[in-house]
Amino acid sequence: MNGPHGAAFSGRLGWGERPVVLVVDLVRAYTEPDGPFALPDPPVTATQTLVEAARATGVPVLWTVVRYAADLADAGLFVRKVPALAAFAEGASGDWGALSLAPAPGETVVVKQYASAFAGTSLAATLTALGADSVLVAGVSTSGCVRATATDCLQHGLRALVVRQACADRDPALHERNLTDLDAKYADVVDLDDVLTHLG
């Protein structure tokens, strides 16, 4: 890393021996053109490629979705900051919280209310039960739930590998800035082709 900090950042976590794939919030709200969080280039195809490669090699695949009670009582202050989250309330019109890719039978779907997939969920216990030591993170958005989840992976003693092409954000520049910062401090940002080679 260039600059006054030199080699202070951007060490490598590397691959563990028991990876899992975690697809964060890849739901219709982000992937449909008229969705409340519609992205200019949702990473559906790249994520599908990643998921299919994981399944073919026996790597577990987990998913997250955001869901709130109908009265948003469990949304806390988050929904005040981001009012469009009301689209994920039970009974809300549009079915925006539906996954854009279908989990296979037996794949875990973690329901969450906040940015990190670890916050108030069973994810940490599920990863422990799987014996996971590294998490390939895909999904949306790079600056929000992907970043929060990858950061919490590190704080739970797990190697986070954020798959560049399988993530996206509302602004490509925001996506790239967050990938750069994640790679410097909390995760390894990896290219999909390299992941496919490793899994293969």
The answer to whether the beta carbons of residues 165 and 46 sit under 8 Å apart is: yes
Fold for 16-199, please state it: Rossmann fold (3.40.50)
Q: Pick the catalytic residue: 145, 160, 161, 187?
A: 145
pLDDT of residue 10: 78
**Quick check: helix, strand or coil at residue 30?**
helix
The answer to whether the beta carbons of residues 146 and 139 sit under 8 Å apart is: yes
Across 162-173, average pLDDT: 97
**167 an active-site residue?**
no
* Domain definitions of the chain by residue range: 16-199
pLDDT of residue 4: 54
Across 147-163, average pLDDT: 98
Tell me 145's DSSP state: I
